[in-house]
C-alpha cells in the first residue's frame, strides 16, 4: 500500500474529471486523477466520439446507396467492412486518449490507474491488480459519470446490447430493435438503418424524443419513416427472451394487445444512471437528488471539501456540462470566485436531421410570465439547404416581445448542430433579434436561416 497526498483528488477521468484535473494542474494545484478504465470516460471511449464517427460513416454509406437522389451520381455497390470501421473509430479514440494523457502530463497531473473506493470524504483507496494506493486530499471531486440502465432482469449480454456493445458490433445486424426512443437510441438506430439494418424503435412515451416539442421532432420522425425504420410509440417491453443467435421481445401496444418482435440484436437505451452508489460513495452519506448527487451552484455537495461534477450529478447528462463544471470547480479550488451562471445551455440530438435547443422554449418563457414573440424560418427557403438536397427543418427564435431580447433558439436540420455556437453566443451575450438581424451571415449557409428568423421577430423576414 502506497500513501499519496495531494491538494486536489479527481475521481473519474471522463470529460468532467479530466478537464477539472487539467485546469487544476494549470492553476498550480497539486492534482491526482484516478481512472479505472480509459481516459476520456464515456464520452471519448464509448459515447460522443465513437457514436459520431459511426453516424458519419453511416451517412456516407447511405448517400452512396441512395437511389432516390436526382443528382446524377451513381456508385458501384457500396459495401462496409464493419470490423475495419470499428478499428478506424478505435483509432480516433486512441488518438484522443493519448491527447488527454499528454495534456494531463503537461499540466503536471499525476494519473493513477485503478478502481477508487472512498474511505471517507478526503481519502480513497485505489487498487489496480497487485498494487494499491491510499490517496489523501484536501479537496475531492467526484466525476464518476453514469452507466447505461438495463431492462429489469435483462442484463446486457449476448444479443441484448447497451450503446457500448452496439458501438463495437463488427457486423451490421439484419434486424435491430431499439428499446427507448431518446437521443442515444435514435442516433445509433438511425446509423444502423443507414447501414442497411431493419430497425424497429420501441418507445413507451407517446412520441420520440419527448423532451423536445413535436414540431422539432417531426422532421426526425419523417426521416426515420423514409429510412424504413418502424416506430412503435406508447409501447412497452413485457419480456425479452434470448434464443440462440436472436432475441424475441414481447411488447404491449397502446391498445393493450401484445405482440412479438424478433431481431438479431436488441439495443436498450432507456437511460443512464449516475454512478453515485458504488465505490464507497453511498457510505459518505451525501445528500442526493434522486439517483444523483445533489450539488449547489458551485458543484459543492453536502460534505465540505467534496465536489461532484458531470453525469453523477444527474440531468442533463451531457459532456459539455461535465467539462464546464470541471473547469469551474478547478477555478473555485484555486480560490477564484465562480458560480454556475449559464444562460445558454445547448442540447443537441445528432439524429437525422439534427436537433439543437438552446435557452428557453416559448412555453418555458410564458410560464415565467414573459410575453414572447416566436419566429420560425423554414430551411425549405434556404439556398444552402437545397444544394445539400436536404430542406427539411427550420430555425426558430423565441424573443421577449417588448424588447426583442433573445430567450431561446431551437432548430432542426441537417448538420444544424454547428449553428449551436452562434445560438449560444447570441444568448449569452444578451443579443436582441435586431442584433442578429443586423449581423451579416455569409451566403449561402444555413446560418442565414438564423438571421431570417431574427428578422421575422422584427416582423420583416426577407425570404419568406
Ligand X SMILES: Cc1cc2nc3c(=O)[nH]c(=O)nc-3n(C[C@H](O)[C@H](O)[C@H](O)COP(=O)(O)OP(=O)(O)OC[C@H]3O[C@@H](n4cnc5c(N)ncnc54)[C@H](O)[C@@H]3O)c2cc1C
Active centre residues (catalytic): 443
Least Å distance between CB 36 and ligand X? 4
> What are the grid coordinates assigned to 51, written together?
457514436
Contact with ligand X (CB under 6 A) among 317, 329, 385, 395: 317
> What are the grid coordinates assigned to 116, written together?
477508487
Question: Taking contact as CB under 6 A, which single stretch among the options 6-14, 151-159, 244-252, 400-408 is the one that binds ligand X?
Answer: 6-14
346 binds, among other proteins, ligand X, none (CB under 5 to 8 A by kind): other proteins
The pattern of x and - marking residues 234 through 273 that bind ligand X according to CB under 6 A reads ----------------------------------------
Question: Taking contact as CB under 6 A, which single stretch among the options 315-323, 358-366, 401-409, 432-440 is the one that binds ligand X?
Answer: 315-323
H/E segment holding residue 406:
strand 406-413
Residue among 178 and 184 whose Cβ is closer to ligand X: 184
Residue among 174 and 283 whose Cβ is closer to other proteins: 283
322 binds, among ligand X, other proteins, none (CB under 5 to 8 A by kind): ligand X
435 neighbors 426 (Cβ within 8 angstroms) = yes
143 neighbors 16 (Cβ within 8 angstroms) = yes
Number of amino acids touching ligand X (CB under 6 A)? 35
Whole-angstrom CA distances from 314 to 146, 190, 273, 292, 353 are 9, 26, 8, 5, 27
Question: Taking contact as CB under 6 A, which single stretch among the options 9-17, 223-231, 407-415, 456-464 is the one that binds ligand X?
Answer: 9-17
Whole-angstrom CA distances from 178 to 159, 189, 246, 325, 381 are 12, 6, 14, 32, 34
Alpha helices in 303-372 (DSSP H): 319-333, 362-367
Range 320-359, binding ligand X (CB under 6 A): 320, 322, 350
In whole angstroms, give the CA distance from residue 280 to residue 117: 5
230 neighbors 189 (Cβ within 8 angstroms) = no
357 binds, among other proteins, ligand X, none (CB under 5 to 8 A by kind): other proteins
Residue among 179 and 317 whose Cβ is closer to other proteins: 317
Helices 82-106 and 15-26 sit at what angle, rounded to 10 degrees?
A: 30
Residue among 12 and 404 whose Cβ is closer to ligand X: 12
Residue among 161 and 172 whose Cβ is closer to ligand X: 161
Q: Which positions touch other proteins (CB under 8 A)? A: 211, 287, 289, 292, 294-300, 302, 313-316, 318, 321, 325, 336-347, 357-361, 364, 368, 370, 400, 403, 405, 407-408, 427-430, 432
Q: Does 51 bind ligand X (CB under 6 A)?
A: yes
283 neighbors 118 (Cβ within 8 angstroms) = yes
Number of Cβ within 10 Å of residue 243's Cβ equals: 10
Question: Taking contact as CB under 6 A, which single stretch among the options 34-42, 225-233, 291-299, 396-404 is the one that binds ligand X?
Answer: 34-42
Residue 327 main-chain phi, psi, to 5 deg? -65, -40
In whole angstroms, give the CA distance from residue 345 to residue 123: 34
Contacts of 30 (CB under 8 A, 6+ apart): 6, 7, 8
43 binds, among ligand X, other proteins, none (CB under 5 to 8 A by kind): ligand X
| 459 Rama class: left (phi>0) / alpha (psi -120 to 50) / beta | left
Least Å distance between CB 27 and other proteins? 15
Q: Contact residues for ligand X (CB under 6 A)?
A: 11-17, 34-37, 41-43, 47-48, 51, 115-116, 143-146, 163, 184, 275, 279, 310-311, 317-320, 322, 350
Amino acid at each position: 500500500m502506497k500513501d499519496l497526498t495531494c491538494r486536489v483528488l479527481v475521481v473519474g477521468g471522463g470529460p468532467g474529471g479530466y478537464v477539472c484535473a487539467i485546469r487544476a494542474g494549470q492553476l498550480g494545484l497539486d492534482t491526482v486523477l484516478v481512472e479505472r478504465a480509459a481516459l476520456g470516460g464515456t464520452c471519448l471511449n464509448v459515447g460522443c466520439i465513437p457514436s459520431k464517427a459511426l453516424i458519419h460513416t453511416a451517412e456516407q454509406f447511405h448517400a452512396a446507396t441512395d437511389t432516390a437522389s436526382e443528382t446524377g451520381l451513381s456508385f458501384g455497390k457500396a459495401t462496409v467492412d464493419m470490423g475495419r470501421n470499428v478499428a478506424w473509430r478505435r483509432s480516433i479514440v486512441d488518438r484522443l486518449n493519448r491527447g488527454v494523457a499528454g495534456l494531463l502530463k503537461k499540466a503536471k497531473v499525476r494519473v493513477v490507474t485503478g478502481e477508487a473506493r472512498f474511505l471517507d470524504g478526503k481519502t480513497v483507496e485505489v487498487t489496480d491488480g497487485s498494487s494499491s494506493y491510499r490517496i489523501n486530499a484536501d479537496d475531492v471531486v467526484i466525476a464518476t459519470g453514469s452507466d447505461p440502465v438495463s431492462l429489469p432482469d435483462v442484463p446486457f449480454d449476448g444479443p441484448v446490447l447497451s450503446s457500448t456493445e452496439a458501438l463495437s458490433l463488427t457486423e451490421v445486424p439484419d434486424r435491430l430493435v431499439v428499446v427507448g426512443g431518446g437521443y442515444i437510441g435514435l442516433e445509433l438506430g438511425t446509423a444502423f438503418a443507414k447501414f442497411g439494418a431493419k430497425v424497429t424503435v420501441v418507445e413507451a412515451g407517446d412520441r420520440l424524443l419527448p423532451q423536445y416539442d413535436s414540431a422539432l421532432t417531426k422532421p426526425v420522425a419523417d426521416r426515420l419513416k423514409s429510412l424504413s425504420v418502424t416506430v412503435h410509440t406508447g409501447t412497452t417491453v413485457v419480456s425479452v427472451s434470448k434464443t440462440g443467435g436472436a432475441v424475441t421481445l414481447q411488447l404491449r401496444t397502446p391498445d393493450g394487445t401484445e405482440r412479438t418482435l424478433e431481431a438479431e440484436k436488441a439495443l436498450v437505451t432507456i437511460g443512464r444512471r449516475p454512478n453515485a452508489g458504488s465505490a464507497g460513495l453511498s457510505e459518505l452519506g451525501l445528500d442526493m437528488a434522486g439517483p444523483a448527487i445533489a450539488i449547489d451552484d458551485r458543484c459543492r455537495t453536502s460534505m465540505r471539501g467534496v465536489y461532484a461534477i458531470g453525469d453523477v450529478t444527474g440531468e442533463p447528462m451531457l459532456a459539455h456540462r461535465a467539462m464546464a463544471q470541471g473547469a469551474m470547480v478547478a477555478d473555485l479550488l484555486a480560490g477564484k470566485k465562480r458560480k454556475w451562471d449559464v444562460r445558454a445551455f445547448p442540447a443537441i440530438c445528432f439524429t437525422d436531421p439534427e436537433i439543437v435547443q438552446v435557452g428557453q422554449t416559448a412555453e418555458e418563457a410564458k410560464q415565467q410570465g414573459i410575453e414572447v414573440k416566436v419566429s420560425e424560418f423554414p430551411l425549405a427557403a434556404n439556398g444552402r439547404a437545397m444544394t445539400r438536397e436536404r430542406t427539411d427543418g427550420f430555425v426558430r427564435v423565441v424573443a421577449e416581445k417588448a424588447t426583442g431580447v433573445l430567450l431561446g433558439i431551437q432548430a432542426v436540420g441537417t448538420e444544424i448542430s454547428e449553428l449551436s455556437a452562434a445560438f449560444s453566443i447570441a444568448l449569452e451575450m444578451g443579443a436582441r433579434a435586431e442584433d442578429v438581424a443586423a449581423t451579416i451571415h455569409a451566403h449561402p449557409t444555413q446560418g442565414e436561416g438564423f438571421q431570417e428568423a431574427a428578422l421575422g421577430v422584427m416582423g420583416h423576414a426577407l425570404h419568406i
